[in-house]
Amino acid sequence: MNKRGYEVEDDAKDFRQQLASDEGLLSGEGAFDKSSGDLEPEMMTMSIDEIAHSVSGIVDFDNGHKVSSVTTDSRTAGQGSLFVAIPGTRVDGHDFVSVAARQGAVAALVEHKVADTDITQIVVDDTVRALGMLARHNIDRRRELPDPFTIIGITGSVGKTTTKDLLFSLLSRLGNTISPVGSFNNEIGLPLTALKVHASTRFFTAEMGASHIGDIDYLTKIAPPDISIALIVGIAHLGEFGSVDNIAIAKSEIIQNLLPGGISVLNADDPRVSAMRRYAPGKILWFGENGSQLPAGSHLNMYATGIHTDDLDHPRFLMHAHDELPTANDANSVKEDTHQVTLGIRGTHNVMNALAASAVAHELGLSLPDIADVLGKQERISPHRMAVSKVAGKESSFTLIDDSFNANPNSVAAGVQGLADWGANQRTPPYRVAVLGAMLELGADEKRLHADIGALCARQHIDQLIAVGGNEQLNALAHDIVDGAEAAAAAEHGDDMTTPADNTDGNKAMISSCASNIDEADAMVAQISAEHPHTVVLLKGSHASGLSTLADRWNATPKAQQS
């Protein structure tokens, strides 16, 4: 926890500093608005006095202008903008107030008055807290309008962003939907997205992340959910939380803070998520593959059977929807509907994310045929998340599975499983290469957890593993991955280990090695793909590992094509 009492989620611990330095993660990106096609639709217009009152601020002088948008990046300020100056650890956003003014901003939210600028300034104690207060005020104004408005909160150790992206596409069939770009799921990103809500917004999908107990509680105070989705309790940020039980407590805050009578959407395959039912204030929708943690007397509302992949490695399954229907004697009968679904995105682990999003969309009125149609057309999600492309260099080419946005043991395991499944239906399987970076914030267990990932790669019979470092810490963790892989391979093969190149009976041992940086990994992949024309590469690591930079480099090659 930082000195102000709020935390920053995911690998973006420098989120506040990055935004304030004018080199932030926003760079003009905001929230999707399906109806208009605009990247940054206007918020509901507010006067300077209204804003000051909502954030308990003091107005330096009121120039009489109206505010129609909010930004923390002075480069994206424009006519009608309010610039929020966030002080960072290296650069102070207050240094850019005059830049925002020249860009057209009509006011600035500041922690101290900035000299030598004639822009209206609203002075508060804490600009991040004030940003949250202003976002809550915008939400409250929308709720005062007569037209229906629904907030859907989403959390989980893995799958939040994919579920959010799928749900955005589904709900856009039903009405105007606001959804964050990327993983804007912390105390800066969520209010910035909430400030995109306007009078015609029907749905707001709010991704909520946490690295400490209380984070989601704070976010739900900004955007109180009508519906909350809890996906899975894993071990992301284990070092920050201290235990998986604490992670479960943090994630449960999204259920505990539902509006009265709100709907809980819970994973019936996860015991810690299933236990959150004790906090549900109203109806519960259960989703899952097997319902192993479903409480007695309950039934799965959305589930999948016959999960497999097609010839293009897209997951296929039969989606089942169970609805409770009231009868004349006040008892409930259950109606089942089914539909075949082929996901436009890859990875069988995304079936669960699709089920969660579909459970909400179906509850809100979207039919199974429409759900299947949307899921089949959703081929792209947020950047660096299971994005598939063809990369061609001068002497080699390969298929890239770019899942490099972030990593924790659960998401890496899912990515490795997806790589192992790739090309399973092909007569000649591809040469599978896992390029893995470190996973951060795992605390005392980080050495073992990295070794476990290496061992998983060996057990899944990945052909080649490249663990990528970059500095002393990352290099040590890369070696832990390789050590785990080699130990697992030795346990399975003993003295009879053969390499993929000289083995033809399928009993092959994985080749594993370390790369000290992404340039070395780049060269290794180029050599591998030159030797093996049918190569598929999984790229997965925490944001700090820099693997997304390697993905951008590969995708910038002239012949790179999305698939």
* CATH code of 493's domain: 3.90.190.20
Look up the domain containing 398 and give its range: 387-562
Please indicate, yes or no, if residue 351 is contained in any of the structural domains: no
508 is in an annotated binding site: no
Amino acid at position 167, single letter: L
Q: How many domains does the chain divide into? A: 2
Please indicate, yes or no, if residue 267 is contained in any of the structural domains: no
347 is in an annotated binding site: no
Q: Is 437 exposed, middle or buried, given 0-12, 13-18 or 19+ CB atoms closer than 10 A?
A: buried
Q: How far apart are CA 34 and CA 175, in angstroms?
A: 8
Q: How far apart are CA 163 and CA 231, in angstroms?
A: 9
What percentage of the chain's residues is helix, strand, coil (to nearest 5)? 35, 20, 40
Where residue 57 sits, what CATH number does that domain have? 3.40.1390.10
Secondary structure (3-state) at 164: helix
157 is in an annotated binding site: yes
Please indicate, yes or no, if residue 490 is contained in any of the structural domains: yes
- What pLDDT does residue 8 have? 29
pLDDT tens, per residue, the chain with 563 residues: 333 333 322 333 334 433 433 333 322 234 445 433 333 447 889 999 999 999 999 999 888 899 999 999 999 999 999 999 999 888 899 999 999 999 999 999 999 999 989 899 999 999 999 999 999 999 999 999 999 999 999 999 889 999 999 999 999 999 999 998 767 889 999 999 999 999 999 999 999 998 899 999 999 999 999 999 999 998 776 667 678 899 999 999 999 999 999 999 999 999 999 999 999 999 999 999 989 999 998 999 999 999 998 888 899 999 999 987 555 555 556 678 999 999 999 889 999 999 999 999 999 999 999 999 999 999 877 778 888 899 987 778 999 999 998 888 988 998 999 899 888 878 888 999 999 999 988 888 899 999 999 999 999 999 999 999 999 999 999 999 999 999 998 887 765 544 444 444 445 678 999 999 999 999 999 999 999 989 999 999 988 888 999 999 998 875 555 55
Please indicate, yes or no, if residue 495 is contained in any of the structural domains: yes
- What pLDDT does residue 396 have? 81
Number of other residues whose CB lies within 10 A of the CB of residue 174: 16
158 is in an annotated binding site: yes
Please indicate, yes or no, if residue 146 is contained in any of the structural domains: no
Among the candidates 71, 94, 125, a domain finishes at 125
437, 407, 448: which is closest to 237 by C-alpha?
407
Please indicate, yes or no, if residue 281 is contained in any of the structural domains: no
- What pLDDT does residue 442 have? 87
Please indicate, yes or no, if residue 318 is contained in any of the structural domains: no
- What pLDDT does residue 556 have? 85
- What pLDDT does residue 526 have? 94
In tens, the pLDDT along 419-434 reads 998 888 788 889 999 9
Write the CA distances from 372 to 268, 310, 341, 369, 381, integer angstroms.
22, 16, 5, 5, 16
DSSP H or E stretch at residue 551: helix 547-555
471, 460, 475, 544: which is closest to 514 by C-alpha?
475
Q: How far apart are CA 292 and CA 275, in angstroms?
A: 12
The answer to whether 461 touches 492, Cβ cutoff 8 Å, is no
201 is in an annotated binding site: no
Q: How far apart are CA 264 and CA 93, in angstroms?
A: 39
Please indicate, yes or no, if residue 326 is contained in any of the structural domains: no
- What pLDDT does residue 551 have? 93
Among the candidates 97, 125, 153, a domain finishes at 125
Strand 464-468 with 431-436, pairing = parallel
297 is in an annotated binding site: no
288 torsion bin: left (phi>0), alpha (psi -120 to 50), beta (else): left
Query: At 245, phi and psi to the nearest 5?
Result: -60, -40
Residues linked to residue 59 through DSSP beta bridges, in sequence order: 122
447 is in an annotated binding site: no
Among the candidates 110, 125, 140, a domain finishes at 125
Amino acid at position 382, single letter: S
Beta strands in 226-279 (DSSP E): 227-230, 263-267
